[in-house]
């Protein structure tokens, strides 16, 4: 049996448009409070430097976010979000580094695309801003629709499902319908199960176990598991203490390898080099041969 083809969205720049393996998306949070890299890259020049380094290390796309989505996080004003992300989007784009904008706001998405971003990644899947779908339709760029149920200050209360996989797929389909009715091209859409967003640990594991069902929806899929809490808890020590955030990269690599071998379009990760190795191994495994 040969593995199914890797679906990717239309409208990607070269070389992303022709990759024969899963894309590696490097996380770049220009925030004081993201759970893993919060506060590290708040200054635009440091953020641009880090983005260039991740690109050199093998990131195919750099995902820039200016608003933390860690559980419990409060929203930031739109002016603040714009001030954080735009210099970094522009700085990296000017260096020829492909960039996606991680935002729930249509105005930020539009400004970031004007500054050079080539993908819009909306963790709310269009729910947080009623103008997101029409904006993305006009921008004509690939659009990541992540499964989401509510803002971070209340998402822990929303982690109730009958069958998490069925429920997530149904809610993603509703988002897709909304996007299509607003004029977003079907080929531009990427789906993301939203690991850790209104999900208990076992919800995440079920979504990963049944990733093939999500892939069968017929859209490219992006998986963002990097260093998340459920990886810390699966690797808890004998006293039940979760593995700290900075020691979850091997677990992230394992998710990358399995997801890439199943045929996802992209993995969104903090440690680019390790995941790049993992996707190369997965690609050789899928091909049954060495050459890229």
- Residues recognised as catalytic: 228, 268
Q: For residues 72 and 96, which CB has a smaller minimum distance to ligand PMM in the complex?
A: 72
State the minimum distance, in angstroms, from the CB of residue 129 to ligand PMM: 15
Longest pairwise C-alpha distance within the chain: 53
Q: For residues 51 and 238, which CB has a smaller minimum distance to ligand PMM in the complex?
A: 51
Q: What pairs with residue 62 in β-bridges?
A: 26, 99
Within 10 Å of residue 37's Cβ, how many Cβ atoms?
Answer: 18
Of the candidates 252, 262, 254, the residue with the CA atom closest to the CA atom of residue 286: 262
The residue number whose beta carbon is nearest to ligand PMM equals: 224
Q: For residues 27 and 231, which CB has a smaller minimum distance to ligand PMM in the complex?
A: 27
Tell me if the bond preceding 15 is cis, omega within 30° of 0: yes
**How many whole angstroms separate alpha carbon 94 and alpha carbon 199?**
37
State the minimum distance, in angstroms, from the CB of residue 98 to ligand PMM: 15
Q: For residues 115 and 231, which CB has a smaller minimum distance to ligand PMM in the complex?
A: 231
Q: Would you say 88 and 64 are in contact if contact means Cβ atoms under 8 Å apart?
A: yes
Q: Residues interacting with ligand PMM, by CB under 6 A?
A: 27, 29, 34-36, 65, 69-70, 102, 121, 123, 144, 146, 192, 194-195, 222, 224, 226, 268
State the minimum distance, in angstroms, from the CB of residue 234 to ligand PMM: 17
**How many whole angstroms separate alpha carbon 85 and alpha carbon 101?**
8
How do strand 189-192 and strand 99-102 relate by DSSP bridges?
A: unpaired
State the minimum distance, in angstroms, from the CB of residue 266 to ligand PMM: 9
Q: What pairs with residue 79 in β-bridges?
A: none
């Amino acid at each position: 049996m040969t593995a199914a083809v890797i679906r990717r969205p239309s409208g990607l720049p070269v070389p992303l448009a022709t990759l024969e393996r899963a894309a590696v998306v490097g996380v770049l949070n220009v925030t004081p409070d993201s759970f893993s890299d919060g506060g590290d890259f708040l200054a635009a020049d440091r953020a641009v430097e880090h983005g260039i380094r991740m690109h050199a290390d093998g990131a195919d796309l750099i995902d820039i976010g200016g608003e933390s989505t860690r559980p419990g996080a409060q929203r930031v004003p739109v002016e603040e979000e714009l001030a954080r992300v735009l210099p970094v989007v522009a700085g990296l784009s000017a260096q020829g580094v492909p960039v996606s904008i991680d935002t729930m706001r249509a105005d930020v998405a539009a400004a970031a695309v004007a500054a050079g971003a080539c993908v819009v990644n909306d963790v709310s899947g269009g729910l947080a801003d009623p103008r997101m779908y029409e904006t993305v339709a006009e921008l004509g760029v690939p659009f990541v629709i992540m499964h989401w149920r509510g803002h971070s200050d209340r998402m822990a209360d929303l982690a109730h499902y009958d069958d998490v996989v069925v429920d997530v797929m149904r809610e993603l389909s509703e988002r897709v319908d909304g996007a299509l009715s607003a004029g977003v091209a079907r080929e531009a859409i990427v789906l993301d199960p939203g690991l850790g967003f209104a999900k208990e640990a076992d919800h995440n594991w079920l979504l990963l176990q049944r990733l093939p069902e999500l892939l069968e929806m017929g859209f490219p899929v992006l998986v963002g598991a990097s260093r998340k809490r459920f990886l810390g808890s699966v690797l808890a020590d004998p006293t039940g203490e979760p593995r700290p955030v900075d020691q979850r990269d091997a677990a992230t690599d394992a998710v990358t390898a399995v997801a890439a071998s199943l045929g996802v379009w992209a993995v969104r990760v903090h440690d680019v080099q390790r995941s790049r190795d993992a996707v190369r191994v997965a690609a050789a495994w899928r091909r049954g041969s060495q050459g890229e």
